[in-house]
């Protein structure tokens, strides 16, 4: 087993919100994960925080598992999967949070799976003029980008500082390049139309070094099927970088 995927043991944890399956080691958790919010204490919410209905013996209060606020049954009736908090089953959420979680579930079911399945790229390290054909994928614990060829690299997601998606017909400096300041907390700088992604430039920190390392990925031109796979892998990377998750994070605050 490689370093990136060791220590993936999980344990079942029961909280007031529900049953969760979490990595045993905190350090092994997904960088896309979210902590459970503290629940607003009962005595601080005599009324539904959405419709203002007073709580009593008939109108019971429920806590949204995503934001921790109190609602009446009507305003907090949806049970929606919440993979970022590792809940085993769908959990009760307010209307606003349910919407965000539904979008994220799409992200987890599609984009992350594409990234974990991997695709082939010609990879160039730094300013080298040599490239190597490598299979790139997101590790099962979502913490590393793993590159396999004659050499092997493991780039920790939290160490990635910029992601540039290169689209067809690009020349450096043109607005067809999409730049993000990090995979996890990205700012969308430019957006071209629906152009096809053909490559990517990553900048990341190697632990113990202050300098950024650059790596360029170019979709393989040799086999059309591979090229299509590489394009969808890059499109998934683009969606992750675009800050869909960041927006959700803000929604949760």
Distances (CA, A) of 163 to 149, 183, 207, 245: 22, 7, 18, 15
User: Is 72 an interacting residue with respect to Zn ion (CB under 5 A)?
Assistant: yes
User: Which residues, other chains included, contact 125 with Cβ-Cβ below 8 Å and sequence gap of 6+?
Assistant: 213, 214, 215
- In whole angstroms, how close is the CB of 26 to Zn ion at the nearest point? 24
Tell me if 231 sits within 8 A of 219, measured CB to CB: yes
Which segment (94-102, 110-118, 151-159, 224-232) binds Zn ion by CB under 5 A?
94-102
Length of the chain: 253
Interaction mask 129-168, Zn ion, x per CB under 5 A:
----------------------------------------
Of the candidates 29, 61, 63, 66, which one interacts with Zn ion according to CB under 5 A? 66
Of the candidates 17, 22, 39, 48, which one interacts with Zn ion according to CB under 5 A? 48
Which segment (3-11, 14-22, 57-65, 126-134) binds Zn ion by CB under 5 A?
57-65
User: Is 67 an interacting residue with respect to Zn ion (CB under 5 A)?
Assistant: yes
User: Is 84 an interacting residue with respect to Zn ion (CB under 5 A)?
Assistant: no
Measured distance CA(222)–CA(46) in Å, rounded? 65
Distances (CA, A) of 183 to 36, 101, 139, 196, 245: 22, 19, 15, 20, 9
In 3D, which of 56, 55, 89 has the Cα closest to residue 71?
Answer: 55
Residue number, 23 or 37, with CB nearest to Zn ion: 37
Mapping DSSP to helix (H, G, I), strand (E, B) and coil, where does residue 125 land?
A: strand
Measured distance CA(137)–CA(154) in Å, rounded? 10
Measured distance CA(94)–CA(78) in Å, rounded? 7
The footprint of Zn ion on this chain (CB under 5 A) covers a number of residues equal to: 10
User: Is 94 an interacting residue with respect to Zn ion (CB under 5 A)?
Assistant: yes
User: Is 50 an interacting residue with respect to Zn ion (CB under 5 A)?
Assistant: yes
Residue number, 94 or 165, with CB nearest to Zn ion: 94
**DSSP class of residue 66?**
T
- In whole angstroms, how close is the CB of 81 to Zn ion at the nearest point? 14
User: Is 240 an interacting residue with respect to Zn ion (CB under 5 A)?
Assistant: no
Which segment (40-48, 120-128, 205-213, 244-252) binds Zn ion by CB under 5 A?
40-48
Interaction site with Zn ion (CB under 5 A): 48, 50-51, 64, 66-67, 72, 75, 94, 97
């Amino acid at each position: 087993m490689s370093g990136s995927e060791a220590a993936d043991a999980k344990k079942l944890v029961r909280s007031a919100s529900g049953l969760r399956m979490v990595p045993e080691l905190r350090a092994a958790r997904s960088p896309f994960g979210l902590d459970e919010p503290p629940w607003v204490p009962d005595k601080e919410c005599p009324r539904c925080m959405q419709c203002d209905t007073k709580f009593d013996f008939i109108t019971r209060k429920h806590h949204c598992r995503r934001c921790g606020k109190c609602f009446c049954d009507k305003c907090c009736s949806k049970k929606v999967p919440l993979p970022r908090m590792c809940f085993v089953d769908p959990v009760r959420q307010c209307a606003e949070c349910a919407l965000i979680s539904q979008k994220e579930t799409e992200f987890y079911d599609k984009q992350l799976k594409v990234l974990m399945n991997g695709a082939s790229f010609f990879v160039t390290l730094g300013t080298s003029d040599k490239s190597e054909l490598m299979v790139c994928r997101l590790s099962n614990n979502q913490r590393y980008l793993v590159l396999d060829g004659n050499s092997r690299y493991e780039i920790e997601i939290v160490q990635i500082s910029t992601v540039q998606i290169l689209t067809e017909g690009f020349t450096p400096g043109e607005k067809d390049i999409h730049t993000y300041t990090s995979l996890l907390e990205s700012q969308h700088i430019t957006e071209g139309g629906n152009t096809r992604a053909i490559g990517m430039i990553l900048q990341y920190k190697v632990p113990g070094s202050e300098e950024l390392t650059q790596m360029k990925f170019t979709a393989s031109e040799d086999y059309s099927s591979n090229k299509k796979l590489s394009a969808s892998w890059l499109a998934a990377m683009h969606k992750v970088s675009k800050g869909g998750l960041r927006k959700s994070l803000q929604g949760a605050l």
